[in-house]
Amino acid sequence: MQKTTSETSWTWADQISSYRFWGLFLFFLFLTIPSSFLSFGLNAFQRELGLSGSQISTVYMFKSIAGFFGLWLAWFMVRLKNHYLLFLYSGFILIGWLLILLVPLSIPTLSISFFLIGLGFGAISLAIPSIISGGRGGSEMFIVSVGLITFFESLSWLASIKIFAFLSDNFSGHNGLSIINMVATCIGMVLLLPVKADLFNNAPPRRESFLIPTDREPITVALLGIIPLYNIYHILYMSYRFHGEVNKINPTQNILSPRAAVWCSLLLSIISPIMVTSLNTSLISKLKEDKPVAYSMNNYYKNWVVILWAFILLPVSFALIQSNMNLLLQSQSSNANVTEGIKN
């Protein structure tokens, strides 16, 4: 029997809870470094070779042309559903920097190097978002993947300014620049190695990370999250607990695994509003099912309130989620007592 689209589709939480996402994301992150360095490297090459502005623009034009051809390489890879081509495209970047390192600098050398680097990164920068959003995680996953990649590209560009300034002050020539970019590319390729070949094309693995729900005082949850130094541990701990506990109350594939929640809180805190929204949505759905009176009276915290506090002060958002969870736990406890009384 052939699987339907809904059976094979990955939710955004499925994708981020797998190493497939993290391997692709970290690979891309390390590959942005060589691309970001190109703009700053041009200044070093211009000083070293005494190139004119028109000559530099000619060299950079090869990178722009290569980016166009990179579009077709990305399409070819996505069409074949073969992520091993990413290693080939990374090889283009390595060869480009290797030429700069080993071959005497000249306009032809720089033009070829820039073309290869632009070709490799042009294909990778288009292929990675296509692979991730192609897992049919919906519009949420598209926004997350493209948003994260855009954000970290900008961050990498800013980091490149600092690194390039350090290299300019402490090293002469372009050798240090080439070596750092080659090392970054190799690290990205190593991180990509464990990614499974099927990517997001087959059905997602079943996630059953359940934790026993705990009734806590919401004000305590909020206060512990604003204590300096301890608050980092508290946010990571509560992210882990909430994603396991809420999944126990109302199992769903739209919630991250506890481990993925910790990594996101640590490395991708920018998506915290999305994480708390998925938790609260699951609780409200269960509340509507188990306690319709409280639901109809709006005796709970709605998503917009939780999202707003996630932007202002995340521990308060956690406290609101805890409050909604307590309401459900009390409801389930009352139902269990009624059932026990009927049996007796």
Q: What is the pLDDT of residues 80-131, one digit of tens each?
A: 888 889 999 999 999 998 998 888 878 888 889 989 999 999 999 888 888 8
User: Would the pLDDT of 44 be above 90?
Assistant: no
Q: Which fold has domain 5-192?
A: Growth Hormone; Chain: A; (1.20.1250)
User: Would the pLDDT of 339 be above 50?
Assistant: no
Instruction: Write down the pLDDT at residue 5.
Output: 40
The pLDDT confidence band at residue 216, using thresholds 50, 70 and 90, is very high
Q: C-alpha 212: how far from its chain's center?
A: 28
Q: What's the rounded mean pLDDT across residues 177-186?
A: 86
The pLDDT confidence band at residue 213, using thresholds 50, 70 and 90, is very high
* 196/193 Cα distance (integer angstroms): 8
- 205-214, 293-302, 318-327: range with highest mean pLDDT: 318-327
The burial class, CB within 10 Å (0-12 / 13-18 / 19+), for 290 is middle
Q: What's the rounded mean pLDDT across residues 135-156?
A: 69
Of 244, 211, 328, 289, the C-alpha closest to 17 is 244
* 296/280 Cα distance (integer angstroms): 16
Q: What's the rounded mean pLDDT across residues 153-169?
A: 66
The pLDDT confidence band at residue 338, using thresholds 50, 70 and 90, is very low
Q: Is 298 left (phi over 0), alpha (psi -120 to 50) or beta?
A: left
The end-to-end CA distance of the chain, in Å, is 48
User: Would the pLDDT of 69 be above 60?
Assistant: yes
Domain residue ranges of the chain, discontinuous segments joined by +: 5-192, 218-336
Dihedral Cα 56, 57, 61, 64, nearest 10 deg: 100
Phi then psi for 84, rounded to 5 degrees? -65, -20
In the numeric block, the tokens 């608050």 are attached to 231
User: Would the pLDDT of 154 be above 80?
Assistant: no
Q: Which residue has the higher pLDDT, 305 or 196?
A: 305
For the residues of 23-92, what is the DSSP string, one character each? HHHHHHHHHHHHHHHHHHHHHHHHHHHT--HHHHHHHHHHHHHHHHHHHHHHHHHHHHT-TTHHHHHHHH
Among the residue ranges 163-172, 191-200, 210-219, 318-327, the one predicted with the least confidence is 163-172
Between the CA of residue 48 and those of 40, 63, 99, 190, what are the distances in Å?
Answer: 13, 20, 16, 33
pLDDT, averaged across the chain: 82
The model's pTM is 0.81
The pLDDT confidence band at residue 35, using thresholds 50, 70 and 90, is confident
CB 120, CB 92: distance < 8 Å: yes
Of 184, 287, 263, the C-alpha closest to 13 is 263
Q: Which tokens go with 252?
A: 């769903």
Instruction: Write down the pLDDT at residue 4.
Output: 43
- 58-72, 122-136, 198-212, 314-328: range with highest mean pLDDT: 314-328
Percent of the residues in the chain that have a pLDDT greater than 70, as a whole number: 79
User: Would the pLDDT of 340 be above 50?
Assistant: no
The pLDDT confidence band at residue 3, using thresholds 50, 70 and 90, is very low
